[in-house]
Structure 1
Amino acid sequence: MRVSVVVPAHNEEHGLPATLRSLLAQTEPAHQIIVVDDGSADRTGEVARSYGATVLRPPRNLGSKAKAQNHALPHCDGELVLAVDADTVLAPDYIEKLRPAFDDPAVAIAAGNVQTRFTRTVWERGRSIEYLFGFHWHRPIQSGAHSPMVCSGCCSAFRRDVLLEFGGFPERTIVEDMDLTWSAQIAGHKAAYVGDAVAWAADPETLPYLRRQVRRWMAGFFQNVRLHLRPLLTRKPMLALWVSLAILEILIAPLWWATPALLTLAWHIPPAQALAWWWGTELLLITPPLIYAARRRRLPLLRVLANIPCVYATRAVNTYYAWKGLIIELLLAPLGLATSLTTYEKGRANAPAYTPRHARNPRKAPQIP
């Protein structure tokens, strides 16, 4: 099966080269690589052409990743369409490992294991723990039940005829990957998770960028809940179970955060002992999957474990925007009391680039022997 790669890009001249190099280095080459230069004000199009990619530039900025991908879809002539973010790097054997999933004619969408490219800041380090845990615990369990909750939009492959059947990448929600993953399974198609196919995404390095991204993710999740929950319950009950558990986790998250204080106030347990109990329970729950993930990905175990405290910073942001998304998208927007999120903000293009500490202060630059 031929693979057409679509890379939507808006002001991505700095991150795009690594993405295109990883695509050109594939052990199973792509049939075509299309970069959608979606109204960039920088050299995105020029950079893409220098790597031999086909560049499409709409007459104006289309405003979302799904719209940019749909702009490229008529130009794709491969049987499979691989959507790759302009700041994501694929392992050299990504296509080789992912393509066999489509030997099953029922599989309409497949994606691999996503990990963080960088662990420079507290936000990236926290996200690295989330990915290691999620892609080595939640995702394999969901895949084993033939109902993955999302095929990551930064590196998912789709049957082109199924995309056309759905009218292209969904533009009705702010997260097209989850929308299409749920829609395909409701329609009777299969979604596949391929753990051996690895991609590395450039995740938020600053708090403003993280907030924009998480706001979009959480709002999009509840937009899909509002749109799909009823058909999920009748046609894909196992996927509905994962969705319900995710909502339950969001609902009880504040209670879990407050557990040490509740133990002290209600049962008069000393604060230090209550905090130790809470922290010990947390470590008991998350450490075994992280040890497995570190071994699987051949990562230094101590470095992975040292990043655990950072995950609480990203979790706090997740919890805030999850509750905000729930209130707005499930309660206020249907009643006409608030507006559903429709503006697609990736974040990085609107935020100053991360500058390492030694670059901000040359005196602290690492010394080269």
Structure 2
Amino acid sequence: MIVLSIFLVLGVSTIFWSLAGLVRLTGEEWWRVQGLSSRIRGWIALLRGGKVPIPRRQRARHRSKGVRIYPANVAVLVAAHNEALVIRETILAAAALVPRRNIHVVSDMSTDDTAAIARAAGVKVLDLEPNRGKAGALAAGIAHFDLCRRFKVVLLLDADTRPTPDYLETGLPLFDDPTVVAVAGRAKSIMSPAPPTAIGRFLVAYRERLYIVVQLLLKYGQAAQGANVVSIVPGFASMYRTSALAKIEVLAPGLVIEDFNMTFEIHAKKLGRIAFHPSAAVAYTQDPDNLKDYIKQVRRWILGFWQTVRRHGLQFSRFWFVLGLYIVELIASCLFFVLLVPAFLLSSLAAVEVWIFGNRSEVFIFLSGVLRPQDVLIGVFLPDLFLTVLAAVTMRSPRFLLLAPFFPLMRILDAVICLQVLPRAYSANSSGVWVSPVRRIQREPQEIATPGPSVVRTG
């Protein structure tokens, strides 16, 4: 039972792809060292007046590279619905990456000053009516502004996302590989300033831990050149090569979110590779800091995943084989966490009946050993603590450890939501029409500072 619990808590997929990520990291470090030694040899040769030889593998890599893409070739597309409080700062952040003429805002039936603020900022604006939802707004913007013909890459940016100043500097080189058609951005939570409430700080810390686990232990290995099984190119800040974007059905009917579907389209149509690297294309986002918004967001994410699985089904390819195994593991893990508390209480009551009241019946003896306290400690809390330690080390923030005992409770909540929305994905369609969350003004983190007044962030 302990071994099974460990695998369900950590995840078989997480363990496997973490190992694949280690192999990838080892290879990258080896070539980095080889490149360094080659440069040292080149410097010595130059000092001696000779020519600098290019290693055979490096020559082959140069031949295989595609055409370098520069920021001038990148369009930024922002879909917005009632985002007057945040759109100006989003445009400022985007303008630090590309010329303002490359920035396009689609105001999806906004009833506030979203469109007026965007026009005043000097970017291209499209007003839509009626409300089409994010996917509809993106599809309309791509077509109206003719982005796939005019640009080589489109950066899809949420209205409350702040890309780092080196977002394109680190992300565009991944397109040097001509087989790469999408670059998945790396998400980071804005941790400072902290939310005003204790529950808010806890929720943001838990979400940051999730980002670290998914991106470092799972996605990094899945994006290895020999794998290419990334299941999500997040819509908050990611890039698409326009030659592939033109073939993606952005507006798919019946889906509550678009990014899972766009990713599945890449795999289904065999358009190319999805690239991801933890140090490339980094962007900051503010996550929900109250339980109501958290539940609403998680429900949308998970419902969107199940709806996309329903739409595409399972096909015969490496991606769908990996996806099928993940779905089995996901359902098993959710059932485990949902039943964890009832099973522990039942086992504890049976143990009390056996050891205190002396009831030695086979049923009570069996139940008392189903989920003992040591099983929960070793099989649940310690594996989950490992994930928290990883987050604490990565973030260089020991305070994550203080919250560690409560994180499993959030995993139970996530599991309940996951199983709850599963039937909805197969019984009803979603219109995709969106309602923006309540925004609040918040100081921008130092890492992504841009000129202008205080930045407005998501509430």
Above 0.5 in TM-score? yes
Q: 2: distance between equivalents of 1:169 and 1:308?
A: 40
Is 1:217 aligned with 2:301? Answer: yes
1:111 maps to: 184
**Cα distance, 1:37–1:230 mapped onto 2, change above 3 Å:** same
Q: 1: distance between equivalents of 2:332 and 2:109?
A: 40
Q: Aligned partner of 1:11: which letter?
A: N
> Which has the higher Rg, Structure 1 or Structure 2?
2
**Cα distance, 1:128–1:234 mapped onto 2, change above 3 Å:** closer
2:384 maps to: 286
2:278 maps to: 195
Larger deviation: 125-134 or 309-318?
309-318
Structure 1 counterpart of 2:107, from 22, 37, 42: 37
Identity of aligned residues (%): 26
1:95 maps to: 168
Q: 2: distance between equivalents of 1:232 and 1:207?
A: 39
Counting only pairs closer than 5 Å after superposition, residues 86-235 of structure 1 correspond to structure 2 as 86-118=159-191, 119-120=194-195, 121=200, 122-144=202-224, 145-188=227-270, 189-197=272-280, 198-231=282-315
Q: 2: distance between equivalents of 1:162 and 1:172?
A: 23
Q: 1: distance between equivalents of 2:100 and 2:401?
A: 37
Structure 2 counterpart of 1:6, from 67, 77, 88: 77
**Cα distance, 1:306–1:88 mapped onto 2, change above 3 Å:** farther
Q: 1: distance between equivalents of 2:297 and 2:342?
A: 26
Is 1:340 aligned with 2:423? Answer: no
Q: 2: distance between equivalents of 1:29 and 1:291?
A: 41
Larger deviation: 256-265 or 123-132?
256-265
Aligned with 1:95: secondary structure?
A: helix
Bigger RCO (CA 8 Å, 6+ sep): 2
Is 1:56 aligned with 2:126? Answer: yes
How far 1:158 sits from its partner (Å)? 1.0
**Cα distance, 1:279–1:133 mapped onto 2, change above 3 Å:** farther
Aligned with 2:182: secondary structure?
A: strand
Larger deviation: 150-159 or 206-215?
206-215
How far 1:72 sits from its partner (Å)? 0.9
Structure 1 counterpart of 2:400, from 304, 312, 316: 304
Aligned with 2:231: secondary structure?
A: coil
How far 1:205 sits from its partner (Å)? 2.1
Deviations 1:88-121 (A, max 9, x none): 1111111221112222222222212211124421
**Which sections of structure 2, spanning at least 5 residues, go unmatched?**
1-68, 356-367, 443-459
Does the CA-based 8 Å contact 2:249-2:265 persist in structure 1? no
Is 1:69 aligned with 2:167? Answer: no
Larger deviation: 241-250 or 37-46?
241-250
Does the CA-based 8 Å contact 1:11-1:40 persist in structure 2? yes
Does the CA-based 8 Å contact 1:185-1:191 persist in structure 2? no
How far 1:241 sits from its partner (Å)? 2.8
Q: 1: distance between equivalents of 2:106 and 2:173?
A: 27
Structure 1 counterpart of 2:420, from 324, 343, 348: 324
**Cα distance, 1:31–1:50 mapped onto 2, change above 3 Å:** closer
**Cα distance, 1:65–1:309 mapped onto 2, change above 3 Å:** farther
Q: Aligned partner of 1:37: which letter?
A: S
Q: Aligned partner of 2:82: which letter?
A: N
Larger deviation: 196-205 or 122-131?
122-131
Q: Aligned partner of 1:92: which letter?
A: P
Give the total of aligned pairs. Answer: 342
Deviations 1:178-206 (A, max 9, x none): 11112211222222222113211121222
TM-score (norm 1): 0.81
How far 1:353 sits from its partner (Å)? 5.1
Q: 2: distance between equivalents of 1:346 and 1:193?
A: 30
Q: 1: distance between equivalents of 2:289 and 2:435?
A: 13
**Cα distance, 1:260–1:167 mapped onto 2, change above 3 Å:** closer
Q: Aligned partner of 2:140: which letter?
A: H
Q: 2: distance between equivalents of 1:354 and 1:31?
A: 27
**Cα distance, 1:15–1:232 mapped onto 2, change above 3 Å:** farther
Aligned with 1:65: secondary structure?
A: helix
TM-score (norm 2): 0.66
Q: 1: distance between equivalents of 2:435 and 2:217?
A: 27
How far 1:87 sits from its partner (Å)? 0.9
Counting only pairs closer than 5 Å after superposition, residues 349-360 of structure 1 correspond to structure 2 as 351=438
Larger deviation: 252-261 or 79-88?
252-261
Does the CA-based 8 Å contact 2:167-2:283 persist in structure 1? yes
Does the CA-based 8 Å contact 1:115-1:201 persist in structure 2? yes
**Which sections of structure 1, spanning at least 5 residues, go unmatched?**
334-338, 356-369
Q: 2: distance between equivalents of 1:228 and 1:167?
A: 12
